[in-house]
Amino acid sequence: MAIDSSVELRNLVLYSIFIRNFSQEGTFRAVEAEIPRLKKMGIDMIWFLPHYPIGMVKRKGQAGSPYAIQDYRQVHQDLGSREDFIHLIDQIHHAGMKVMIDIVYNHTSPDSFLKQRHPDWFYQKVDGSFGNHIGEWTDIIDLDYDSSPDLWAYQIETLVEYAKVVDGFRCDVASLIPLPFWQAARKAVKEVNPDLVWLAESVEPSFILETRKQGITGLSDSEVYQAFDMTYDYDIQGDFDAYLSGQQPLSAYLNSVNRQNWTYPSNFTKLRFLENHDQARIAAKIKPYHSLEQITAFNFFLRGAHLIYNGQEVQAKHLPNLFEKDPIDWFEFADWSNYLSELIRIKKEYIPSEGSFEIGGDDDLEAIWIKYQAIGRSLIGVFALNKEKSGHLSLPVPDGLYHHLSDGQTIRIEQGMVALSSHPLYFIDEI
């Protein structure tokens, strides 16, 4: 991890907005109306999916992918003007929140500004044509960071300018770009914005192995942490999905969570999430017997920063199309913003950024316990993920009375066991 990364980032709550599909208008101005709601929910930082012009050549769909960028230094005219974008950022700052933008430096659209002016900065196949290393990404072409120091200078100059107005960078497939570039970029940006937050979209283990098989850059999370403050949770996402689908017991996933604690530096921060623009909605992914309430609370209790994807707060099941105008239906499902606000409150007030973190559970009950220990106080979370199962879960805490953080009730632990509830339990040992 970058040596100066703060463990306080573990209490950060991000909210991701796909501007085109966030509202019927799909504009910067339309986002402004939602700022008070997001502030009330407890959001710290808003991450915008790419706001740049989208290429026309080999475009997927009518609207195109926001990740097929035509020009890093402009804004998409359908979203509004550059002045509108800056005004939105100012309004978010005025509300006491921060802004993170998407940085997509592995590739551009085939008709990008850089391709037209600096074709020598791009990867070329044996036959001299332009392309990419990930075949299904047919609407983009890869940059080649071994091609010229001028490419590095241009890209870093762009980052420095953005760093003067925003507070964070979410870097798309950061694992495919050489580590020395990210280290040089972080150093340059620090001179103008030393507090900027660097989030890497690190990739799945199988993705790393495949890129290395091709002889191209495939950074592990441990390497990425040398330049970034936070990384994605994709290193263990497969185990969580395997549990949800019934292919693996819950304990296999819990073991992978524990493995992170000795694999990465002691101050590591993972971005925890249940869904994002690339992943199916959690409300659509879970089985009927799963408790969305319990799974969401559990995910919040994991040590790390937390991400809410726009629409998750109304339990949306439809994932907006990445290539079309496909607005979120904000009224299709139940709004549980208040529940998420409560989880955010507990996270910020009670979950320590330092101290010990332990996790365990019971495969038969499909129940999980999490224990934090800091400054002589224990915080315990108990989550029954399967609504159809009941019983008592064994906990690594002394018998006694505990204070429930949500409703203030007293919880009794006897013989090291607690009765599972239909609602998540989170309590402290102050009584």
pLDDT at 264: 94
Domain boundary among 354, 380, 408: 354
Q: Are strands 45-48 and 141-142 parallel, antiparallel or unpaired?
A: unpaired
Statement to judge: residues 21 and 110 lie in one domain: yes
Residue 1 lies in a domain: no
Q: What are phi and psi of 69, to 5 degrees?
A: -85, 135
Q: Do 70 and 91 reside in the same domain of the chain?
A: yes
Global pTM reads 0.96
- The pLDDT assigned to 2 comes to 67
| Residues 62-79 as b or e (16 or more Cβ within 10 Å = b) | ebbbbbbbbbbeebbeeb
Are 342 and 423 part of one and the same domain? no
- Spell out the residues 6+ positions from residue 301 whose beta carbon is closer than 8 angstroms to its own: 347, 351, 370, 381, 383, 426
Q: Is the pLDDT of residue 430 over 70?
A: no
pLDDT over 80 (residue 147)? yes
388 and 333 belong to one structural domain:
no
CATH number at residue 319: 3.20.20.80
Domain-embedded: residue 152: yes
60 lies in some domain:
yes
User: Per the structure, how many domains does the chain have?
Assistant: 2
376 and 347 together in one domain: no
* Whether residue 18 sits in one domain with residue 99: yes
Predicted confidence (pLDDT) at residue 218 exceeds the cutoff of 60: yes
296 and 400 co-located in one domain:
no
Structure-token pair, residue 291: 């408790």
Band (429; pLDDT cuts 50, 70, 90): confident
Note whether residue 386 is domain-resident: yes
Domain boundary among 354, 377, 412: 354
Same domain, 318 and 416: no
Model confidence at 408: pLDDT above 90: no
Q: Is 360 within the bounds of a domain? A: no
392 and 349 in a single domain? The answer is no
Is residue 2 a part of any domain in this protein?
A: no
Rounded average pLDDT over 227-249? 97
Same domain, 345 and 250: yes
Region 38-55: mean pLDDT is 98
**Containing structural domain, residue 218:** 7-354
Question: What CATH number does residue 380 fall under?
Answer: 2.60.40.1180
Has residue 431 got a pLDDT over 60?
no
Q: Are residues 180 and 39 in the same domain?
A: yes
218 with 317, same domain?
yes
Q: Which two tokens stand for residue 409?
A: 């009730």
364-394 confidence digits (pLDDT tens): 999 999 999 987 788 999 999 999 999 999 9
